Amino acid sequence: MATCDRCGNDYAHTFTITKDDGASGVYDSFECAAQDMAPRCKHCGCTILGHGIEANDETFCCSHCARTETGVQTTDSVNA
């Protein structure tokens, strides 16, 4: 058995995640993996589990946070 890098649980079904930059970790759940490996919004700090939005080489959870932090003109939806 292996131990989760996040919570320390000794678990028979752990898995390893390796990012493109070489960072890796062993986890017992996707919840623990997301807390360690998922990007954080530059403005509010929340864990970004979806695509998020990039502005000025920073990652944000939504257009509101991107606008607030950078002033970039973006929106989460387009009304046709």
pLDDT of residue 80 exceeding 80 = no
Residue 16 banded pLDDT, cuts 50, 70, 90:
very high
Regarding whether 48 and 26 lie in a shared domain, the answer is no
Regarding whether 47 and 20 lie in a shared domain, the answer is no
Most distant CA pair in the chain, distance: 54
pLDDT of residue 77 exceeding 90 = no
Number of domains in the chain: 2
Distances (CA, A) of 16 to 9, 11, 24, 45, 80: 14, 13, 7, 24, 43
Q: What is the mean pLDDT of the chain?
A: 93
Regarding whether 43 and 25 lie in a shared domain, the answer is no
**Span 26-62, pLDDT tens digits:** 999 999 999 999 999 999 999 999 999 999 999 999 9
Contact (CB, 8 A) for 27 and 6 = yes
Cα gap 29→15, rounded to integer Å: 8
Return the amino acid letter for 38: A
Regarding whether 66 and 46 lie in a shared domain, the answer is yes
Containing structural domain, residue 42: 38-80
Four-point Cα dihedral 60, 64, 69, 70, nearest 10: 90
